[in-house]
């Protein structure tokens, strides 16, 4: 028997008539293998593809030919094409597919961010297997799913989504880009080089960002954006 997880991504070759197709995306091979075993044990669903990166996931999804598909996206992917980028991209390219974010004891803001960018729900990896599988079926049926987080988190998750909506309404796309790069700890000159604009343009954008967010410093602006999930918490330079 071939070992699961021995390759970064793979697709099932044998045709099947199972109603629900599942695409597993997680950077950890052992996690994908465990989820695959759980899903394949059900007679009404099957794993169509497994991927360890956003790029592999999109390549696999482009070849999927199934009317009912749930994409499970682990929240552990980092970098430019992280889990949230993938969720947003899948939602834009494949609006008919259902997307579930998956994480282990994820913070409320991480969950609200995943829902904001397009996930149909969140399932904790520590959930009961029966609940986990039922969450897939509910998502495929068009239901909003939230399995794992304590009930008292629901209000905080909802507020996080509202805050992010408000910030995206206030800031232009370019201002959000400047703020995201600024959160890495780069100087105005370095931000300008990264975005291919003049340094003066960056300082102008930063001034407008401060005014729109009602803050007076870059650190305060980053704190507001990070708290809302608009930019990820970063280990950038001080």
Could you list the pLDDT tens digit for every one of the 238 residues in the chain? 444 444 445 555 444 556 899 999 999 999 999 999 999 989 999 999 999 999 999 999 999 988 899 999 999 898 888 898 899 899 889 989 999 999 887 787 788 788 877 888 899 888 899 999 999 999 998 888 888 765 655 566 666 656 666 667 778 888 888 888 888 888 899 999 999 999 999 999 899 888 888 888 888 888 777 766 667 655 443 3
> Can you give the pLDDT at residue 102?
93
Q: Tokens 């008292």 — which residue?
A: 152
Q: Which of 149, 119, 123, 151 is nearest to 136 (CA)?
A: 123
Let me know how long the chain is.
238
pLDDT reported for residue 56: 96
* DSSP conformational letter for 42: S
Instruction: Decide: 89 and 54 in contact? Cβ < 8 Å.
Output: yes
CA distance 90 to 60: 11
3-state secondary structure of 9: coil
pLDDT score of 15:
44
Tally Cβ neighbours within 10 Å of residue 16: 12
H or E stretch at 2: none
Q: Is 171 left (phi over 0), alpha (psi -120 to 50) or beta?
A: beta
- Predicted structure pTM score: 0.65
Query: Distance between CA 18 and CA 3 in Å, rounded?
Result: 23
Beta partners for 73? 25, 101
Pairing between β-strand 145-147 and β-strand 121-124 as defined by DSSP bridges:
parallel
Give the pLDDT confidence score for residue 143 in this predicted structure.
86
Q: Are 39 and 102 in contact (CB under 8 A)?
A: no
Instruction: Name 12's Cβ contacts closer than 8 Å, sequence gap at least 6.
Output: 46, 47, 48, 49
pLDDT at 2: 42
CB proximity list for 116: less than 8 A, separation 6 or greater: 160, 161, 164, 165, 229
CB 160 within 8 A of CB 108: yes
3-state secondary structure of 98: strand
Is residue 69 within 8 Å of 98, Cβ to Cβ?
yes
Take residue 97 and report the two structure tokens written for it.
């597919």
pLDDT at 52: 95
Spatial separation of the C-alpha atoms in residues 187 and 181, rounded to whole Å: 9
Task: Provide the CATH number for the domain formed by 10-156 in this structure.
Answer: 3.40.50.2300
Of 84, 229, 83, 82, the residue nearest 159 (C-alpha): 229
DSSP-derived 3-state class of residue 49: strand
The residue with tokens 């780069």 is: 186
CATH architecture of 171-228: Orthogonal Bundle (1.10)
Sequence spans of domains, the chain: 10-156, 171-228
């Amino acid at each position: 028997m071939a070992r699961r997880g021995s390759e970064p991504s793979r697709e099932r070759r044998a045709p099947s008539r199972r109603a629900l197709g599942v695409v597993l995306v997680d950077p950890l091979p052992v996690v994908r293998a465990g989820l695959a075993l759980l899903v394949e044990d059900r007679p009404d669903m099957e794993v169509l593809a497994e991927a360890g990166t956003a790029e592999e996931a999109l390549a696999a999804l482009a070849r999927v030919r199934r009317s009912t598909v749930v994409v499970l996206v682990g929240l552990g992917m980092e970098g430019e094409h992280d889990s949230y980028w993938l969720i947003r991209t899948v939602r834009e390219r494949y609006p008919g597919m259902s997307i579930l974010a998956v994480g282990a004891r994820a913070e409320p803001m991480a969950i609200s961010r995943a829902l904001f960018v397009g996930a149909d729900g969140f399932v904790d990896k520590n959930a009961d297997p029966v609940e986990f599988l039922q969450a897939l079926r509910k998502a495929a049926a068009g239901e909003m799913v939230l399995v794992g987080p304590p009930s008292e988190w629901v209000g905080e998750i909802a507020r996080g989504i509202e805050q992010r909506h408000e910030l995206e309404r206030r800031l232009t796309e370019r201002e959000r880009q400047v703020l995201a790069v600024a959160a890495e700890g780069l100087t105005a000159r370095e931000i300008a080089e990264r975005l291919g604009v003049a340094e003066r343009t960056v300082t102008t954008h930063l001034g407008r960002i401060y005014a729109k967010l009602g803050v007076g410093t870059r650190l305060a602006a980053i704190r507001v954006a990070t708290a809302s999930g608009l930019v990820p918490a970063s280990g950038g330079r001080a």
